[in-house]
Chains A and B, each alone.
Chain A
Amino acid sequence: MANLDDDASFFEADILVIGGGTAGPLAAFKAKAANPALRVVLLEKANVKRSGAIAVGMDGLNNAVVPGFATPEQYVREITIANDGIVYQQAILAYARRSFDMIRELDDWGVKFQKDENGDYDVKKVHHLGTYVLPMPEGGTIKKALYRQLRKAQVLISNRFMATRLLTSWDGRAAGAIAVNSRTAELLVIRAKAVILAAGAAGRLGLPASGYLWGTYENPTNSGDGYAMALHAGAELTNLECFQINPLIKDYNGPACAYVGGPFGAYTANSDGARFIECDYWSGQMMLEFYKELEGGKGPVFLKLDHLAPETVTEVENILHRVERPSRGLFHQGRGADYRKDMVEMHISEIGFCSGHSASGVWVDEHAQTTVPGLYAAGDMASVPHNYMLGAFVNGAIAGEHAAQFVEEVPLADYDQGQVEAERARVTAPLRNETGLPPNQVEYKIRRFVNDYLQPPKVTRKYEIARKRFAEIRADLPRLAARDPHELMRALEVHSILDCAEMAAAASLYRTESRWGLYHYRLDYPETDDRDWFCHVQLTSDGKGGFVLRKRPVDPYVVPVKTTERDAYHRLRIPTPA
């Protein structure tokens, strides 16, 4: 173990990318491609070979904008409607315009997308209006392809380092970051002209129903550190009350996934075996319908494949049991469940933050810039809604390219050494504690309270109690104790989880209306209130452990959405009169 009072290792880079999952590798690669002379560091808590949401690949693109199937403008319109209008369209358009080129570039790198017999992309229609789903039955090799590109581009890869805080200059610019090694507890200070945050979703916010801390929907390495770092660096976060909640295989807690089975004819059904979902997209509206069916006596809810031909089920299994979450097959096998005759029981996941599936995150513009100069964010933690994997790739690329330009024009920013000392004290505290609280217990307690009080539907009084409980736990944090560097990483993750829990509570209380279906369904304010709340909610740190919240008007649309279009879409959702 490193001597805790040692000088930290120190490195000067041009661009520091934090998180080597999906967006991060593209950011680093594109920065190097823009200017090979730059020193680009890719810092990863795990190992970039197999890290993040796509560690073992993905089974499809949910939002491919392929010419002949959809246009960027159509995509922007639909994402706008699916998010109840509260979007920054410029950023969605920036993604949509590069979506197809990114697919082709990944294809060149050896990432495999489904093609028809003639070798053309086999895009499937799953949503009602547009056509955006491109399956990846052989999508298991994405990480290998990315890793090879990173090596060829000579990106400086640093594995098993967890970034804990950003450094900022006196005038508020990003100046670098501090990280700690999860095997040696070695401290690392990296100075950089630009920092790109790509640390993924906040996946360890709610507690899975199994009670297993690691049985999350998200890759559990994504503990919300990116949100916490952005917050403490002074960046604005947006719409954090728009939670991520997903329909998942019960107990297994992974996706089933309707986007895979859908084109084959599988669907989500109630206990009568009948479809009940009105909404097209994985969205808060859909989750609200899901929730009501579960509550309404027609639950449990299932994924239904038993009406499909055996040949078709085999095809679906070959995808579901091989890529993305390949242990799905193992799970069903353990229970003797067979898609051919058994419906798969589904349930509602724990809550999290993730723009990949909803609309929250660190605020970014169409260049992936946050509100802190020199600080970028991309992927699930950045605020571009419904971005998914391809969005992470594209916005990572956008961030990397823009940062490469930015660093040409600026010197390294100076930071106050006091920041390093304060962080050294915080980071090493758990190792110094002779007695104290084990990280897993503190984490369990926070996440159980998140379930008890924050899981929608949201109730004001419950939220107030939650804030009290969180404050009590905050007072416990100095007692966190770690026996080794691995536990130290877990202890520091607990800090991020608590930060995220408090942000989730504050943002939810601020928006006194209901919006985005189940994601922000407040029983005390059940109606959507466009007059007062057709806006983003921006959250920043007040520098004293609290938050400042404010409204940000929705920018004028670059792709107009006619009210008739909006209404037509909403009309689709009118349920049958019972």
Chain B
Amino acid sequence: MSFAENPSEFPVTIDAEKCIADKGCTVCVDVCPLDVLRINPETGKAHMRYDECWYCLPCALDCPTKAVTVAIPYLLR
């Protein structure tokens, strides 16, 4: 099943150099209330999967390597 594509900017970005998801870390994915982050099994790094962000920051505050950057979603910026 498919829907029409409706592009939007991801407000959350993750620095793959810093991310240690491949070492077992899932902190940001665990703490996101909206459950919009995932670990990409191919790269072994975290990334944003759904554009549904409350710009609340647990992901950034709790990331042990400070790999997560949250921007205010464009529509509000």
Contact = CB atoms under 8 A, between A and B. Distances in A.
Interface of A: 46-47, 49-52, 55-56, 140, 159-160, 182-183, 210-216, 219-221, 251-253, 325-327, 330-331, 334-335, 433-436, 438, 481, 483, 486, 489-490
B35 interface: yes
B34 A214 contact: yes
A47 B36 CA distance: 12
Interface string B1-30: 111000000000000000000000000001
A216 B31 contact: no
Q: Which label, helix, strand, loop or mixed, suits the secondary structure of the A interface?
A: loop
Contacts of B72: 252, 327, 330-331, 334
A50 B58 contact: yes
Interface extent on B, as a size class? 20 to 34
Contact of A331 (B3, B31, B49, B76): B76
Q: Which label, helix, strand, loop or mixed, suits the secondary structure of the B interface?
A: loop
B1 A56 contact: no
B73 interface: yes
A342 to B, nearest CB: 16
Contact of A214 (B54, B57, B61): B54
Contacts of A327: 55-57, 70, 72
Contacts of A253: 76
A252 B61 CA distance: 19
Contacts of B77: 251, 331, 334-335
B64 interface: no
A47 B35 CA distance: 9
A210 B76 contact: yes
- 4 closest pairs, A vs B, by CB? A50-B31, A50-B58, A46-B33, A212-B75
Given A55-B33, A214-B34, 18 more contacts: A46-B33, A46-B35, A49-B31, A55-B56, A214-B73, A215-B73, A216-B54, A220-B33, A252-B72, A325-B56, A327-B56, A327-B57, A327-B70, A334-B72, A481-B1, A483-B2, A486-B35, A489-B35
Contact of B54 (A49, A220, A331, A435): A220
Given A481-B1, A486-B35, A219 B75 contact: no
A215 B1 contact: no
A141 to B, nearest CB: 11
B23 to A, nearest CB: 20
A56 B58 contact: yes
Contacts of B76: 210, 212, 215, 251-253, 331
A140 B60 CA distance: 14
B56 A486 contact: no
Interface of B: 1-3, 30-35, 49-50, 52-58, 61-62, 70-73, 75-77
Contact of A220 (B52, B57, B58): B52
A325 B32 CA distance: 14
A488 to B, nearest CB: 12
A50 B33 contact: yes
B2 to A, nearest CB: 8
Contacts, number: 95
Nearest to A481: B1
Contacts of B35: 46, 160, 182-183, 486, 489
A252 B31 CA distance: 22
18 contacts: A46-B35, A49-B30, A55-B56, A56-B56, A159-B30, A183-B35, A214-B54, A215-B75, A220-B52, A221-B33, A252-B76, A325-B56, A327-B56, A334-B77, A481-B3, A483-B3, A489-B35, A490-B52
Contacts of A50: 31-33, 58, 62
Given A46-B35, A211-B75, A481-B1, A56 B61 contact: yes
A515 B3 CA distance: 44
Which of B32, B52, B73 has its CB near the most chain A CB atoms (within 10 A)? B52
Given A251-B76, A253-B76, A483-B3, A47 B31 contact: yes
Contacts of A489: 35
Contacts of B2: 483
Which of B2, B30, B53, B58 has its CB near the most chain A CB atoms (within 10 A)? B58
A251 B54 CA distance: 13
A47 B57 CA distance: 14
A43 B28 CA distance: 20
A486 B50 contact: yes
Nearest to B62: A50
Contacts of B52: 213-214, 220, 490
Nearest to B36: A486
A59 B47 CA distance: 30
A162 to B, nearest CB: 10
Nearest to A331: B72
Contact of A55 (B53, B58, B75): B58
Contacts of B30: 47, 49, 159
Contacts of B33: 46-47, 50-52, 55, 219-221
B17 to A, nearest CB: 22
A434 B1 CA distance: 5
Nearest to B58: A50
Contacts of A183: 35
B3 A56 contact: no
A219 B57 CA distance: 12
A359 to B, nearest CB: 25
Contacts of A438: 3
A444 to B, nearest CB: 11
A470 to B, nearest CB: 23
Nearest to A160: B35
